Chain A
Amino acid sequence: MNNIVEFSFMWDTFIHLLQFIPVTLFLAIISMVLASIIGLASAIVQLRNIPVLKQIATVYLLIGRAVPTMVMLYIVYFGLPILLLVFTDKTGIDTGYQHIPPMVFAIAGLTVHTGAYLAEIFRAAILSIDKGQMEAALSVGMTWFQGFYRIIFRQAALVAVPLLANQFLGLIKSTSIVFTITVIELLGGAKIASVETYRYLETYLVVAIMYWGISIIFEKLFLLAEQKLRIFKKEANI
C-alpha cells in the first residue's frame, strides 16, 4: 500500500475511466466531421474566389488559427448564449438556449478551431493536384462539381490523409480542455476520481496511457485509410 505506484489501483482506475472514453471519442469525431465540412467549404470558397464568402472565410481562418483553443471554447460558451438571447429578444423566437447542454458548446468550440486548420490542409491538398485533371473532367462534359468530387477531391484526399490524421490526434488531446466548461470526458472523469482518492500520479499515468492507446488505434486506422486510397498511386510501397 506504500508503493509509489499501486498497480491494482491503476487497474481499477482504468476500468472506472473506460466509461469516459466514449465521451472523448464522441467529442473528437463529431468535431472532426463538422470541422471537415467547414474546412472543405472554406477551402473551396477561397480557391473558387467566390465574392463575400471568400472574405468571410479569410477572416475566419485568421481568427480560427490565432485564438487558442481554450479561449475559443470560452468565447463560444459565454458568447453563444448571449447571441441567442439577443436573437430571441429581437425576433421572439425561443431558441431554448438555457437548455443547450455544454456538450454542444464544446463541440462548437473545437469545431471552429479545428476547421480553420483543416481548411489550410484541404486548400494545400487541392492545389497540389495538377489543374489538367479538372480540365480533362470539364472536357468530357462534367460539371465543376462532378469533376471536383469524382476526380480532384479523391486525389487530394490522399495527399490530405496524413495531415488530417495529425490534426485528429491533436484534436483528441484538445478534447481534454472541455472539462473547463463542465463537460466530463476522460480527463474530467480522472480529475474527479483523483480528488476522491488523492492518488494523482497513478490516475494521471492511467489517463496518459489511455490517450496514448486511443492515439495508436487512430493512427493505425488512418494508415489503413491511406493505403486503401493509395491504390492508384505509384509510390505505394515506399
Chain B
Amino acid sequence: MSILEVKGVNKRFGGLQALGNVNLSVKEDTCHAIIGPNGAGKSTLLNCLVGKLIPDSGSVVFDGQSVLGRKPHEINQMGISRVFQTPEIFSDLSVIENVMIPCFAKRDGAFRMHAYEGVHQEKGIIEQAEAILADVNMLDKRHMHAASLSRGDKRRLEMAMCLVQEPRLLLLDEPTAGMARADTNNTIELLKEIRKTRKITMAIIEHDMHVVFSLADRITVLAQGTPLVEDTPENIKGHPKVREAYLGEAQV
C-alpha cells in the first residue's frame, strides 16, 4: 500500500522547469530516499507536498486524499511533518517550548482558545516533550534559548518537533547537513530506532550516501527535475546511469 502517490507533477519557475513530470510512490512503513545533484528539484518536490508550492499540473495524493489546494496546517493535521533544509524553529522560545507547540497541535488541533490554564499545568504535554528531548539527547538543554543552539542541535530540535507529532509521513530535507560525524551517526541510530518502535513512513533527501544507504529501503534519483531511476539501494549503487549522473564524484 502506498501512502503517498505523486503523479505527473510539473513546476516551472519562469523559464526554469524545476519539476518535469515527476512520479513518485512511497509505500507505507518504508524509508524512501530522494537523491540528486544540487538544484535537481528535491526541495521543490517537498514544497509541493506540504502546501508551500502548488504544482502547475499533476496530482499529490496522501492516504487517498489530495493535498493540493490545502493549507500547510491542514496538510500537517493530515499527518505529514517536514524537517526543512535550513532549520525552521522558534528561535525566540526555549527548547522545550519549541517541542511543546507540536504537542499542543497534535492534541488540540489547528486552533484552540486555551488562554486560561497555564502551560506549567500541562503535565502530560511537558512529559511528552521531555521524553522526545531525551530521545534526541537534548534534555539537558531544555531551558536554553533555541537561538543559541549549535547548527546541529537546531536540526535535532526540529527533528524532535516533527517526531513528537508521530506523523504518518515524515519528510526530511537533508537532516544531517552541517552535523559532525558523531551527530550524524546518532541521527541515523535515532531514525532507525524510531522506525522500529513507531510506524512512521519516511521520505528523506540526503547528500550523505552513508546516511542514505543506512536507512533507505528504496531510492529515487532525481536529475534536472525528472526521476532518473527508482530502485533498491543495492541496485542503485551499481546503476550506470546513476553513477554517471550523480554518484560518480561521490565515491560510494
Q: Do A and B bind each other?
A: no
User: Which residues of B come within 8 Å of A, CB atoms?
Assistant: none
User: Which residues of A come within 8 Å of B, CB atoms?
Assistant: none
